Structure 1
Amino acid sequence: MVTALQTRNLTKVYQGKEAVSDVNMTIKQGEIYGFLGPNGAGKTTVMRMITNLVKPTSGEIEFFGEKMTPGSYEMLKRMGCIIEYPVFYDKLSARENLMLHGEYMGYYDPQSVAAALELVKLSDINNKPVKQFSLGMKQRLGIARAVMTKPELLILDEPINGLDPVGIKELRDVFRMLSREYGMTLLISSHLLGEIEQVADTIGVIREGRLVEEVSMESIRGRNSHYIELVTPDSTKAVYVLSHQLGLNNFKVMDPGLIRIYDDGITLSDLNKVLVLGDVGVENLSRKHHSLEDYFMERIGGEGIA
């Protein structure tokens, strides 16, 4: 598979402190790359360097094998992006904003404006000025602006911020369509891990400016993918029953009152029966699968994400 974007030892220093340190990313053409990390981990800084909004202190960025330089203006025309909050001319309509964007990008195609607005469900707002848009509508318009020039790489920093569940699902379908049908490469950061889990092909986890791991979602799903979750007020007694009466050893106490059991050879009904007979209080007993959130929290040591 062709490599769309690659960074080598990408580093950014602010006032003597490394905000991003030796980041080596590899993003394949046509894939959706989910970029995850706690607040302040360096996600936006990396995206800003890729789009030439911030100059790297050291390291290299290659776009389809071509090294990016401060003068790579033609290369940037092959990218679309939303970095942080999209800004528009508030007194102009959505269509007028996109037409203006096309002019300064050297992309004159009125049909692409209509197609982009249709794609994000904003084609019926007529001449309503952007200043009257909700946050979610502005996010949609930002995505329309990013895709209207048919970029080869689409970079989206928190693209579903402010959207309701219906809007999130619609854009999830849009991202899949852009990747699968148009072969567009997407780099997406988000704090909504469940949404990234549903669309991403590859995950990059960044912590304190360093890329902790780059791994396929297929690989994540294959790691201890199924387990039984036991919620009980009697963790100590439950551990004794699991190990001494059931002979289980593949389980883990996650928190006081929460135990995950990874042994496959026991049913929920048999487990519940032995626990009850052992005088263990059972508040909840259910089968779960190892999610992206579980994996992410393991990689960053329990820090929050934003």
Structure 2
Amino acid sequence: MIKGVFRLKPAVFEARNVSKQYRSGFALKGLDMKIMEGDIYGFVGENGAGKTTLMKIIGGLVQPTGGGILLFGQQGKKELCAARRRIGFLIEMPALYPHMSAEENLTFYHHILGIRNPGRIGEVLQAVALTDAGNKKTSQYSLGMRQRLGLAVALLGSPELLVLDEPVNGLDPAGIVNIRHILERLAKEQGITILISSHILSELQLLATRYGFIHKGRLVQEISAGELLQSAQAMICIATPNAERAAELLKRKLQITDISFNTAGELQIPKASVDLELLMAVLLQEGISVEGFNLSAPNLEHYYMDLIEGVRR
């Protein structure tokens, strides 16, 4: 008896050999990419790599010169147009009227988008934590509040996919954390799939479940968050003014051979190869002062830089 059936998640977006050529050259060249339902897909690449171009193709603002895309399994001009109604976009700065309040801006877009649910404005204000600022003129908003209002506009149509281009660009740390928490709730509680680009890779690593790395218009690699964590060993980093002496001591006393130094001059030892309590006891017994230690996990920024450096060679 079959107790359950494993269902593969469908692709929400798929790019097949997509190219976009301008007079100055290719913005995208033979790009293949897939975003599955439920993904928070971190889109990583330098300025000019082609991230925004692809997002504009998803939104129908730019047409590819080669290849094509599928949205929710649909292709063809008419079908793509209908599928785009299931997507919310925040590409570049949101277009807001500064003399209007948040509610008035949302009411304007509510009519433009042809949304019939009058309660939706209150729902999206609550979703982006702007309920208390609904009547405040947007000219008085901070950058973080304007970004959250732009996100509210993108949510008006109850999208199944959110496309966000640098939504935390220019925000202070508190604003960045606010946006992250909002997106986490949208993904977890409403099941919204998210495509997001950001140059703040440490923040992206806290959010994304999957990554795509783009370089000069080509998708170099796609990996899951789990694969990223397995891509490198966790390292114990020890700060001591006697780093070279400490390294020699640990090699001799504990037979640790794979000791290295990071750019800060700290000792780096693979976590799996040593007992931390024993390591610290040996250093203290030999009179070597320890100024601090930490555990470094696999890092998205380092992974990306190593990946791109390999492509450039």
Letter in 2 for 1:78: R
Residue 112 of structure 2 is aligned to residue 104 of structure 1? yes
Q: Residue by residue, what CA displacement relative to the aligned partner does 1:17-42 show, whole Å, maximum 9, x if unpaired?
A: 22222221111112211111222222
Identify unmatched segments of 5+ residues in structure 2.
1-8
Cα 1:176–1:263 change in 2 (3 A) is: closer
Matched, 1:215 2:226: no
Is 2:177 the partner of 1:169?
A: yes
Deviation at residue 186 of structure 1 after TM alignment:
0.6
Deviates more, 1:219-228 or 1:53-62: 219-228
Aligned to 1:11, which of 19, 22, 41? 19
| Structure number with higher helix proportion | 2
User: In the superposition, relative to structure 1, how do residues 93 and 289 fare at CA in structure 2: closer, same or farther (>3 Å)?
Assistant: same
Partner of 2:195: 187
| Inter-partner Cα distance in structure 1 for 2:26 and 2:261 | 36
Aligned to 2:90: 82
Alignment check: 8 A CA contact 2:41 2:195 kept: yes
- Per-residue deviation at 1:156? 0.7
User: Identity percentage over the alignment?
Assistant: 38
C-alpha distance in 2 between matches for 1:256 and 1:237: 16
Match of 1:30 in 2: 38
The residue number in structure 2 matching 1:95 is 103
Q: 2:156 aligned with 1:148, yes or no?
A: yes
| Contact 2:125–2:134 (8 Å) recurs in 1 | no
Contact 2:40 2:196 in 1 (8 A): yes
For 2:86, the aligned partner's letter is: R
Greater shift after overlay, 182-191 or 275-284?
A: 275-284
1:276, distance to aligned residue in structure 2 (A): 8.0
For residues 115-264 of structure 1, the aligned pairs below 5 Å read 115-231=123-239, 246-255=254-263, 257-262=265-270, 264=272
Would the aligned equivalents of 1:30 and 1:183 in 2 still touch at CA under 8 Å? yes
Name the count of aligned residue pairs. Answer: 303
The answer to whether the 8 A contact 1:33-1:204 is kept is yes
1:192-216 per-position Cα deviation (integer Å, ceiling 9, x unaligned):
2232222211111112222121111
Output one character per residue of 1:238-275: Cα deviation in whole Å (capped at 9) or x when no partner: 66666566543434444372453225232345445666
Contact kept, 8 Å, 2:71 with 2:80, in 1: the verdict is: no
Q: Does structure 2 retain, via aligned residues, the 8 Å contact 1:250–1:263?
A: no
* Alignment check: 8 A CA contact 1:60 1:68 kept: no
Give unmatched runs, 5+ long, in structure 1.
none
